[in-house]
Amino acid sequence: MKNLIVQGVAAVVALALYFLPSIIADRRKRYDLLTIALFNAVVGWTVFGWLLSLYWALQPNPPKNVAGEIEQSRKRIGMRTFSTMLGERVRLRTSRNGTRERSSK
């Protein structure tokens, strides 16, 4: 009877260790918990698969709207580039106008 209890506890500990990446992902409230748990269940028996799922579970949550964030970033970069180019053009015209006024005097 004692041996059966020890084996039962060992089995529970082994399962908890095997699904540790899934447990961590659940505790960290990952959006892709199901994907991590399935990956862990299917490929976790290999050391590489288990380590990969653990690494994945420890990563921060991905943004919900990746496409929207990329679009916003592109717009900001575009506006920054436009502003820089406009400023250079104004400086160039100002320097040209200053040169013309000096030469006409």
Place of tokens 């490929």: 43
Q: In the chain, pLDDT over 70 holds for what percent of residues?
A: 92
The pLDDT of residue 16 is above 60: yes
**What value does the mean pLDDT take over residues 71-95?**
89
Average model confidence (pLDDT) across the chain:
88
- Nearest-angstrom CA–CA distance, 56 and 29: 13
Instruction: Return the pLDDT at 64.
Output: 76
What are the tens digits of pLDDT across the range 33-82? 999 999 999 999 899 999 999 999 999 987 777 778 888 888 888 888 98
| Alpha helical stretches, state H, the chain | 2-18, 20-27, 33-43, 47-58, 66-104
